[in-house]
Structure 1
Amino acid sequence: MEKVERNVMEPIGEVPFNKPKLDYAKGLKKLQSGLENFFLKKGYVLLIIGFLLGRALILAKLTPFSLPFFAAVYFIRRDKAPLALVGLMAGAATLSISNAVSAFGITFIFLFAFRVSKKWLNNEIRALPFYVFFTLLAGKLLEAFIMKGQLSLYDGMMAGVESSLGFILTLIFLQGLPLLSINKRRQSLKTEEIVCLIIILASVMTGTIGWTVYDLSVEHIMSRYLVLVFAFVAGATVGSTVGVVTGLIFSLANISSFYHMSLLAFAGLLGGLLKEGKKFGVAFGLLIATLLMGMYGEGSGNLMKTLSETGAAILLFLLTPQALTMKLAKHIPGTPEYAAEQQQYMRKMRDVTAQRVAQFSSVFQALSKSFSSHDEPTEWVEDGDREMDYFLSNVTEKTCQTCFKKDHCWSKNFNTTYDYMMEIMHDVDDNQGALSPKLARDWEKYCTRSKKVTEAVQQELTYFKANQKLKKQVQESRRLVADQLMGVSEVMGDFAKEIQRERENHHKQEEQILEALQEFGIHIEQVEVYSLEQGNVDIDMTIPYCQGHGECEKLIAPMLSDILGETILVNSEECATFPNGFCNVTFRSAKAFVVETGVAHAAKDGGLVSGDSFSTIELGCGKYAIAISDGMGNGERAHAESQETLQLLQKILQSGIEEQVAIKSVNSVLSLRTTDEIFSTLDLAMIDLQNADAKFLKIGSTPSFVKRGPKVMKIQASNLPMGIIQEFDVDVVSEQLKAGDLLIMMSDGVFEGPKHVENFDLWMKRKISELKTDDPQEVADLIMEEVIRSRSGNIEDDMTVVVSKVKHNTPKWTSIPVHVIRQKAN
């Protein structure tokens, strides 16, 4: 209701106020589209360019532009070549009829030679400049011979210069003409393309030499306008380049315009430096350059005329639509418009990539459901009943089909016979192939072929059990594949969400950090904030070379810690290779806890190769993994088995898959890879470095112990070793660790190593509680020494002890309070 009342109360004259604006914008867009279609798509811009190039001169005599332009148009847009030729002839005719005839004749010679020899060319684009060169050379020499009746050295040199210019111009037009098409270019302009475009535009403008409007030179106005546009769009570098190139082309066309190159170059430089002042700043740069270079070049006599030409160029520049300059800026590297265009393109690519990854995730999820859908309990029961029927049918086919009492047993006494058969099968299965005496006597009284039936049951039971085992393995494998596919689906889904997370814009925070550090007296060249998420800060800085004084670690990181409210550390540092260079430093959030690890291990009988393997893995998600694997037996084979188990586990964990799925995947590989009786145990502890929460996953391994002061806690789980069965449930034991805790993990060679000990748990707890040190390496060495001493120095099995100490992550340098510094400064 409120919205309706508000619209009713509005003045009548303001209702259609925006409509003319919309109509104007729509009309302007339609006009722009129509002009683009007429000039670019239909190719009439080539007619105009051809007209101006046809009358363009070099050294007031040479006309090297006509044939290179026609050859490039003929090669790139052959259907528009007649338009270009008409424009060239018309332009040449404005100079003289002989120039038009000469241009047409040379063009005809080029077309004839090119079309005749085209079938022998392997690469037309490489041969085109040479065709232009020799055609121009031959045509100009023939023209000179016809006009004078003889050839002189001067004629040969001028023909050589013009044909050489034609060779170069052909290369320039081949690279620059595609830029005048209507196609939607995604890629940026290369430096060579920008220069070629400038040369083409400057060459076209030389065709306006001699044109005046109210006694003002058109070529001077257009050249200064061109410099203004490029200086405004791309800055001082491109602006001065445009000025130099344009001035050079005009100087070659007219010697009297030589000073003009200095004016244009200076104007491009000043305009580019003043581009922060928008269009008026660039125009002011041209005005200053005109005043300085105008008085220097031709004195004060022509200064008013030069200033008038500059004023006309500035007026054209101010009237230039912003859409045109923005469209041009999108293709020139280094401009904000180009960066925005690239960012938009990258965002689109990111969204497409994330969508594809999400689609793959859904595919894997569907595959996982497809595999797991066949494992419903109701289907198992139905399959079991069906297989039991097949079992009995196979037995009766071999025995009852030819028996004279078949109808009596199966037609009249079906239930009794069926129950006897089932009882015989279960009895034979339970008694390992033998039938109990009582059931054998009862069955002999009931069946005339009792012995034959019993033997058939025993034989079919062997096949039945083998089939059941195979089917169970297939079901377990299917379930394992479903779990793995679901794990991959979850990883890819998380990855898709991570891709779609926008990198936030932190300009304000960057300025605050830069200001705070500079107030402290530290010179910072650049600050880039990638993330300010708590516990996941990511900041890059560029600072001058500190000569090894450690400013980053001692000053900048402590100040960032106070600004951001959490401990910040130097993650990586690339120092400058020379004294006046810059260092690139990355600052990241410090983890709340660190883990210090000590290891002691020994091989059986003092050998060199142990069947035990251990690994400490720092995962990228802020977790720290400690793993011990014990291969069955000793020596090379056991070592290879345990080492491979840990390597597989490490790769899968680092991919981001959950711990339980990772362990099941490793078990699957180990159980399906070989039929040998080779198994491995796995003892895995995952510690979260942010909150010290620990998860223990034990597969056939011995207990672990946590020592917290005088208290010793045992951590135990019951699972078979890896590789024995294909399907098992992983027991996960969680424990909240604290700073100062010692986590002691060991293989069975250590836990069951002490001699004449009945209760290994109590013995190990007592030895750990009696330790007087909390150094991880010393604890590991002492436990190993105690076990070996209890065996009188004998090492009867591979032994490994891994001791980890959880500590608070205390940085070397405390935070520096920035607000206190600011208060003192004020």
Structure 2
Amino acid sequence: MSGQPGVHPYRREVELTVATRLGLDFLFLVAAFCLARGALLEELFPFGPAAVITAAVRRSRLLWPVALISMAGSWFSSPAPAYSRLLLFLLLGLIFTLYPGLRRGSILTQATLAPVTIILVRGLSLTLWQPSFYGWVQVIFEALLAWGLSLAFLEATMTTRQEERLLGGGLFLAGVLLGLQGWQLFGLSLQGLISRYILLLASLAGGPGTGAAAGAAVGFLPSLSQVVTPALAGLLAFAGLIAGSLKSLGKPGVVSGFLLAHLLLASYFLGQDSALAALKEGGLVALALAATPSFLINYLQRFLAAPVTMPAVQEGHGRQERLKTALKSLARSLKFTGFKESPMVTVRQVARATCRGCPAGKVCWELEGEQMVTLLQELLQKGSHGSLTTADIPEWLSSRCGRCRELLAALTGEASKMQVRPPEDGLNNWLAATFEALAAMLVNGGPNTGAGVGAGEELPLWQVTVGTAAAPRYQAEVSGDTCLAGLLEPGRQLLVLGDGMGAGREAAETSATAIELVRDLLAAGFTPEMALRTINMILLLRSPKESFTTCDLALINCGTGTAEFYKLGACPTFIQRDGQVKTLSSHSLPAGILEDLQVEPLREELQDGDLLVMVSDGILEAHRDINEKERWLAKALQRVGDARPQEIADRLLKQARALVDGKPRDDMTVIVARMERNGV
């Protein structure tokens, strides 16, 4: 397949409560106060303007509270506050208030306001009262720093790239810590306490490397605000390294390693008094770490760790390689009849819990990914019948894996979720072994068994534009429908829509499994009839209880413009042409009910501008009158005009939801495709 067509489940957005929003707003205001006080070398204050610009763009309702709290922080930053800094924050607030369109501008334009206002206000004040060359160098340097910080803060609030989020969040946290300079709690430095707490969190969440990096960063902070020797950076870096090395022992191990390394080096380099202060600080941060909820630590582990990528078939592989992958996929589905999740989902959960951030992850999952998947599945099957030990891990993996204990724990946890396998599932094992044997035969090459590859070898004359829209039934978190759109090679457009039995996660898992297997089998060269019959048999065998799904499949030849439609219990397909709507329907049963499945294709010659619409039954049944369930959609298609497929899909879904007053009784999914002739 060209590209990686995805399965698009519906996801409900997390809604924050009013109390949570107020708490986050309060924390941001406290951070803004500290950022306005944060100074570099006791003379440069670039963090405050960046915080005001970030609030104006990302939290517009907090613009003036942040501006005023920043003015207060600037006022208390030194015995002789600079009135030009107060005017600077006031000017930024007025600019965003008078020109709200700036919030919709580019990040570069928004960030540039920081150096412009600093040079304007601070430069004018310098020119009028204390003109000097050094003063202008200081103003320009502060303006450039504020510009870079504004870019980092704004980018971190909207990017999905982990590196940029870490950079922006780290600079934001550094500014807050610099703003705590001089504050004390129980006679101890508040900046030092929070710095060491951050070090312990980083060591517990990320391990020795992250702990050492965090220690070096927070230890270097005092030398940024004052001209002092940065000896503390090396001390805390070593303490973070030791604490992170004991991560496997949990919070007690991390705290013990930190205190041991910190007290040893503090007494040796900084003297007895500093060692006593370090003991007090370590005790307080240890109590704070013990009180830290586990969900926060788990979130930091996911945030700091690089994602684990599962192996995928590369684009350059031929049909035999894709056929081997499809056969292995079938074997895994049959082997995992006792698990609630699909084989790849289960393996991915084990890898996510164990391999994130591991230095050997690139070797395991990129160079030996297929071997790792096979091994983990075999261990899961073995773990479902008894406990796993380190002897079960082969030498080629145990020799380089430093997380064997965590791997066994994750495998045992997933294996414990396995349901009891009925004795008649021996047929499943036989079919799985047959598929695996066929896949092994293809490793060394074999005949081209990809029957059913349609015509279309010539240069494609047609282009298909696709749009999708979906919504779950009322008060459901996950839609039981699954849709997929992708381009098969050579020159065939695939559209598939499945509706699993029932609703929720179980229905979604059933339909997703069927649709993904259809995609893999067609890509390997199976005919649609063979692929659908195979899916039907898989659903019959993979679960002891009734499990079925509808399957609506459209296969468009982009070379000739012909389309084949295969329907297993699916709703009619609608074809709109020149204002007229044609329906294609079939009375076949869903997949997974009867062993003898009748698959009869419907063929249609498509024309330039034709609109093809596939829907689940939640869309049609939105109309209360059963006689109007197809007619209302046909009338709606007559009025769509030349709108883009995505706009049409969104519009149809909106109309269907309106018919049920926003409370769908069933999952709703729409696929809209438009045929367009390529210019030749």
- TM norm structure 1: 0.38
More helix by share: 1
Higher Rg: 1
TM-score, normalization: structure 2? Answer: 0.45
